[in-house]
Structure 1
Amino acid sequence: MSQKNKNRDISADEQISPLIPAYAAYIAAFLFVAGIVSMYFLGRNGQDSFTWKNYLAIALTVCSAVLWFISGMDRTQVLDWFRSGFIALFLALTIRWAIAEPYRIPSGSMETTLHGDPRFGRGDRVFVNKWIYGLRYPFLNKRIWQGKMPERWDIVVFKAVEPDAVHKTLVKRIVGMPGEEVQIRSGRVYINGTPLTLPESIGQEIYYTSPLDGPYGVQSLPQYSQIPDGHYLLLGDNSAHSRDGRYFGWVPNENMVGRVSSIWWPPPRWRDFTGFSQQLWWRGGITVFLLLAVLRLLAGRVCSAKNANGPRGQRCVISFLSYGLLVPFLLKRIITWRRPASGELVLFKVKDPLTKSDFLFLGRIAAVAGERVTFDNGRLCINGSLPESGYFVNKSFETETGNIKYGRIKSKEFSTVPEHAYFLLSDDSAPGACEHDSRTLGWISEDAIVGKAVFCCCGVKQAD
């Protein structure tokens, strides 16, 4: 393709001014780095709780990332992006509320089971199963319905029972159950007079201390030793350095947020506390997810192509592997095992010189490198002859309106397909469809071919 053709403008109706200038991406990148650096230095202070500075740094980072994504987009693209983002945010918040939520461990009260560190990027991150004990009302210590009852030795996240607690959400291990009499003596926990034996899953010996200012489970008075119905005694594994149920007392079932299922970060400390990773459903689900991810990156996906009927375009399933192997995210083909054939419907990209954005269009391969393209009363001619078979037999195309040059002007520049390029025609019969194919856009480089369309909606037929 000649340099002149590469730099030729898309038609005037495609040159939509961006809502946010493209150069805003540079400002966004600077603000994003500033936000990350701010969070890092604020985290190094080792403070126990977030201040307005922490929230400001997070907001700066998030907003700058959004600005970077939408820089150079027109109004329609920005609205589509925010609509997709809103749906994704809604789903994420729903999952976070009802099913599972990640938590950061800020203190060492559960060492060595959970490593805590209040500094930014430090400390274990855990996933908490919020569904298992029953769904809770948002922002309230009440359940919509009760699920599985908590069990002894569960590691749980719960809402603090102390009104003036520094941390409003805590993580401890269930040791005492409802209705039991509990006593901590000589480093061991006695339940109804019988010493508890720690399960092997804990993986360590725990010496439970008996602090003078922590009466619950230590003193023998009934109000400090008898666990009420619907309440639990929660203790930290690092007993000597844990402010737990010995100090603040029994924790009601309604305060239980969920059960800690695993450490997910950092990777060297990954650990499954509940055995879910050994279940067939988990292994099968992970296998299916990874397979779909590989197929999504390498084999193909659903794409939206612009057409003459509006900005929403046509949605098609595109096969990346039909012609070769693409580099994920870049849509660059590194291996080619066959070239598109005449009549095949393909997805191709064209860069808008104004916004520098890539537009995706659908078109059928009408001519390949070296062939001469002309039109006879709207009918496609290849090397001076009408096609005798295939998709383009008895097909007529608009050639007398718009900015049509290619196939209409007889000079070699506009009639002969150059090397490593194609002449593509749109299936769209709507007025202005010629603006979206080679009649106006010119020769389409083979590097611009994204993949083969194997299924399309909106009335477009896939290639045979």
Structure 2
Amino acid sequence: MKKSPKEIAKEVVITLLYAIVAATIIRLFVFETMLVPTGSMIPTINIGDRLFIEKITYQAREPEIGEIVVFWTPFRDERAEQMLRAFDKFMDLFAPSKFKGHVKYVKRLVAKEGDIITLKNVDGNWKLFVNGKVPENLKNVNYQPDGIFKYPNLWKYLDQASRLRDNKTEYRNFLYNIALKNGAELANTIFSIIGGMYPVPYGIPYHEYVDEYLKPKNVDFDDYVWTENGQVYIKIPEGFYFFMGDNSKESLDSRYFGFVPKEAVIGRPILRIWPFQSFGPVQPLPKLNN
């Protein structure tokens, strides 16, 4: 019996609804994508790469040191939000409620809870030492002793500056006093991250991250960052990770913004799907336990 146009239209609508539900489930629990807006992971990952992220592996186990991980920023990165394209904004509508308005970062995991890290100059290259040794997966990566490794009070200053950002006069005075006390470079670093005034109208409201993730767990910066014989040491609190970009000179990473809560982890970038000429795997597949 031939179906009527109305019946055909109804079947098409039902099929589309099933497809949308299936796609939503896959997006929420299995796979998603991200567009890389910066060069923090060059040469492994480049500006404009679109990555395919699988979310199953880290539901079964924790990420390992040396793995490249995609995570939600635990703060609102207002500049990165301006760089998102329409497709990414639409896909992020499915983000967990606590990360609405946040963006994705892709970095390499370099330390986990309980680890103590520091940067040391080894034959002219700065290497990350984790619990007294350079992890095998990080031996070929060189880092810059910037951010918290250069200014042990950076995170505290970011918190203070962020709370003053809406009061332009107090904010300017704060930055001015930092420049007098610690030098213009530190003041410029704080301003470049927090933003809030011309020529950097957008930035990171850092105090929101401190109030939501650190204070409830009694994480005080002074308990986790210290200096011994001129060497800066950092201990990773329980429930947090420390991420850094391979392109250390151009990476806004944990050296600058601090610890990332475990719940912010999304998954593993496994495939570069754009540009087509660079199509292929981003990092090796995880090893399966026998």
TM-score, normalisation: structure 2: 0.57
Say whether the 8 Å CA contact 2:70–2:267 is kept in structure 1. yes
Say whether the 8 Å CA contact 2:53–2:269 is kept in structure 1. yes
Say whether the 8 Å CA contact 2:45–2:282 is kept in structure 1. no
| Shift of residue 255, structure 1, vs aligned partner | 0.8
Q: How does 1:20-59 map to 2 (within 5 A)?
A: none
Q: How does 1:302-313 map to 2 (within 5 A)?
A: none
Aligned to 1:124: 49
Gaps of 5+ in 2: 81-102, 154-221, 226-233
Aligned to 2:130: 191
Counterpart CA distance in 2 for 1:237 and 1:103 is: 18
Q: Deviations over 1:240-298 (max 9, x none)?
A: 1111111110111111011112222233323324544999xxxxxxxxxxxxxxxxxxx
| Secondary structure, aligned partner of 2:118 | strand
| Pairing partner for 1:270 from 259, 272, 279 | 279
| Shift of residue 222, structure 1, vs aligned partner | 4.6
| Pairing partner for 1:256 from 262, 265, 269 | 265
| Shift of residue 115, structure 1, vs aligned partner | 1.0
Say whether the 8 Å CA contact 2:115–2:236 is kept in structure 1. yes
| Shift of residue 180, structure 1, vs aligned partner | 0.8
Bigger relative contact order (CA 8 A; separation at least 6):
2
Gap change, CA 1:230 and 1:131, over 3 Å in 2: same
| Secondary structure, aligned partner of 1:195 | coil
| Pairing partner for 2:112 from 168, 174, 177 | 177
Q: How does 1:83-94 map to 2 (within 5 A)?
A: 83-94=14-25
Counterpart CA distance in 2 for 1:104 and 1:111 is: 14
Indicate the percent of aligned positions where both proteins have the same amino acid.
Answer: 28
Counterpart CA distance in 2 for 1:230 and 1:207 is: 26
Instruction: Give 1:169's aligned amino acid.
Output: K
Gap change, CA 1:76 and 1:160, over 3 Å in 2: same
Q: Does 1:161 align with 2:96?
A: no
| Secondary structure, aligned partner of 1:115 | coil
Superposed CA RMSD in Å reads: 2.9
| Shift of residue 192, structure 1, vs aligned partner | 2.1
| Shift of residue 133, structure 1, vs aligned partner | 1.6
Q: Deviations over 1:86-142 (max 9, x none)?
A: 1111111101110111222121111111111xxxxxx212111112222xxxxxxxx
Instruction: Give 1:157's aligned amino acid.
Output: V
Instruction: Give 2:273's aligned amino acid.
Output: W
Counterpart CA distance in 2 for 1:277 and 1:181 is: 25
Aligned to 1:102: 33
| Secondary structure, aligned partner of 2:107 | strand
Q: Deviations over 1:329-378 (max 9, x none)?
A: xxxxxxxxxxxxxxxxxxxxxxxxxxxxxxxxxxxxxxxxxxxxxxxxxx
Gaps of 5+ in 1: 1-12, 17-73, 117-122, 135-146, 280-464
TM-score, normalisation: structure 1: 0.37
| Pairing partner for 2:236 from 227, 233, 252 | 227
Counterpart CA distance in 1 for 2:284 and 2:3 is: 56
Counterpart CA distance in 2 for 1:197 and 1:109 is: 21
* Worse-superposed segment, 101-110 or 232-241: 101-110
| Secondary structure, aligned partner of 2:256 | helix
Aligned to 2:186: none
Counterpart CA distance in 1 for 2:260 and 2:67 is: 14
Counterpart CA distance in 2 for 1:197 and 1:14 is: 67
